[in-house]
Amino acid sequence: MPQSLSHSALIDIANTFGTPLYVYHAEKIKSQYEKLVNAFSNSDVVFFYACKALTNVNVLRYVRSIGASVDCSSVNEVKLAMHAGFTPTNILYTSNGISFEEIEEAASLGVNINIDSLSNLEKFGRKYGHSYPVSVRLRPNIMAGGHLKISTGHDKSKFGIPVEQVGDLVTLVKEHNLFIRGLHIHTGSEIKDVDVFLKGIEVLFEITPMFNELEFIDLGGGFKVPYKEGDEETDINLLATKVAEAFASHPNPNNRPLQIWFEPGKYLVSQAGYFITKVNVIKQTGSTIFASVNSGFNHLIRPMFYDSYHHIENISNLGGALKKYSVVGNICETDSFAWDRNLNEVSEGDYLVFYNAGAYGFEMSSNYNSRFKPAEVLVKDGVPHLIRQREEFNDLLRNQVELSF
Ligand code: LLP
């Protein structure tokens, strides 16, 4: 797998900062962003980094510095983004199933608001009428994405206002004189097939004539990145060409050109991230050799939760003979990262690196089994910076209210 940080750099960083450790490479985030910007250079496009993938404020600051906007899924992410220096106009807040109070809070911060239910839209209309432009998330009833758990646009999905309810949506808009500024879809994560986006555009183009103040169409995130040798990724250049063609061949409502918004998460940070662990125990059993690392699904849940494949390398013994291992964590229940994986011979104390660990890695970590969350390091201009300390025992007690019996 092509990687942007060398094995020796990863070993040095692990020796310096300890393991388990998340390491991110700033310039890789930038080169991914530039691939998007260059591909879409002939269209009027804004990229909002879907920061749910990785919210360390230093990463947010870096993403802002390279020119991206940011997509937030909670008001706390909005506040983190503001803390990192994003201005409200560059922040998009896509709510889903949240209280109207949270939407009011986001509105008080002046960010772009995207609403995903008729219920909240009605409350929004009652309170703000035409005064606060808003976008709406639609459910286009398209099945897409790399795993059912990350498919969000199909006809059983909780997300968005189902397109078949667009009549009710229009009624609401009229009733409250809502300023509908954008239409949004996000059909899933790890969408390789460009046609999925085009299908989404077709669905939206049927609806755009019903709204006469539209300024943008938001096609969400979900670009697929490669996880292993030979894996395909979304063809961004093809996507850019096809999207431009689709927009050119549809008359824009009120002759106002529509801006195109995207919300990439994985595409920007997945490959920029490395998760370094150390092997605690080698256990030879009848059929399997287990390599048990000093981590578990409490730190990287994707293999257990989505059956995700993360390429793993033994960077401590790169020339060693290949053998098959099951790489497991130390959590007190089934906790497997990989089965029957070819690795250079593994010894206790070796560093195993998990690739594609930038997106939804640290961000989905927990303290299960009362273990500490890992530290995070950002490598920028060749220099590794600690950007989150490893937790320590007091962190486990911090919010507990202790009674004395
Ligand atoms: N926009 C919206 C509204 C989203 O819900 C998401 C992701 C994105 C953009 C960014 O999608 P991306 O470009 O990262 O695929 N935890 C899962 C992924 C869940 C994605 C949730 N929504 C995983 O580890 O695969």
What are the extents of the domains in the chain? 40-268, 273-397
Please tell me if the CB atom of residue 377 comes closer than 6 angstroms to any atom of ligand 1: no
How far does residue 360's CA lie from ligand 1's centre (Å)? 9
pLDDT, average across residues 191-207: 92
Please tell me if the CB atom of residue 220 comes closer than 6 angstroms to any atom of ligand 1: yes
How far does residue 306's CA lie from ligand 1's centre (Å)? 13
Please tell me if the CB atom of residue 192 comes closer than 6 angstroms to any atom of ligand 1: no
DSSP, collapsed to helix, strand or coil, labels residue 325 as: strand
Please tell me if the CB atom of residue 53 comes closer than 6 angstroms to any atom of ligand 1: yes
Pocket test for ligand 1, best of 189, 225, 299, 301 (most atoms within 8 A of CB): 189
Indicate if the pLDDT at residue 62 is higher than 70.
yes
Task: Give yes or no for a contact between 200 and 153, defined as CB atoms under 8 angstroms apart.
Answer: yes
Q: What secondary structure does DSSP assign to 237-277, as a single string?
A: HHHHHHHHHHHHTSPPGGGPPPEEEE--SHHHHSTTEEEEE
Q: Which residues of 165-177 are buried (b: 16+ CB within 10 A; e: fewer)?
A: ebeebeebbeebe
Indicate if the pLDDT at residue 43 is higher than 70.
yes
How far does residue 188's CA lie from ligand 1's centre (Å)? 7
Residues 285-307: tens digit of each pLDDT: 998 999 999 999 999 999 999 99
Please indicate whether residue 145 or residue 397 has the higher confidence score (pLDDT).
397
Task: Give yes or no for a contact between 68 and 268, defined as CB atoms under 8 angstroms apart.
Answer: yes
How far does residue 250's CA lie from ligand 1's centre (Å)? 28
Pocket test for ligand 1, best of 55, 63, 263 (most atoms within 8 A of CB): 263
Give the CATH class of 273-397.
mainly beta
At residue 58's C-alpha, the angle toward residues 351 and 45, to 5°, is 110
Please indicate whether residue 256 or residue 257 has the higher confidence score (pLDDT).
257
Classify residue 298 by its DSSP letter: T
Q: Which atom of ligand 1 is nearest to the CA of 53?
A: 14
How far does residue 353's CA lie from ligand 1's centre (Å)? 23
Backbone angles phi, psi at 147, to 5 degrees: -165, 145
Residues 361-387: tens digit of each pLDDT: 999 999 999 999 999 999 999 999 999
pLDDT, average across residues 201-230: 94
Atom 8 of ligand 1, residue of closest alpha carbon? 221
Q: Which atom of ligand 1 is nearest to the CA of 308?
A: 25
Atom 5 of ligand 1, residue of closest alpha carbon? 186
How far does residue 32's CA lie from ligand 1's centre (Å)? 16
CA dihedral 123, 124, 125, 127 (to 10 degrees): 90
Give the CATH class of 40-268.
alpha beta
pLDDT, average across residues 185-192: 88
> What whole-number distance in Å separates Cα of residue 142 and Cα of residue 135?
20
DSSP, collapsed to helix, strand or coil, labels residue 328 as: strand
Please tell me if the CB atom of residue 302 comes closer than 6 angstroms to any atom of ligand 1: yes
Question: Which residues are known to be catalytic?
Answer: 332
pLDDT band at 151 (very low <50, low <70, confident <90, very high): confident
Indicate if the pLDDT at residue 2 is higher than 70.
no
Indicate if the pLDDT at residue 313 is higher than 70.
yes
Low-confidence winner among 38-52, 69-83, 108-122, 250-264 (lowest mean pLDDT): 250-264
Task: Give yes or no for a contact between 310 and 358, defined as CB atoms under 8 angstroms apart.
Answer: no
pLDDT at 253: 67
pLDDT at 187: 84
CA dihedral 310, 314, 316, 317 (to 10 degrees): -160
pLDDT band at 1 (very low <50, low <70, confident <90, very high): low
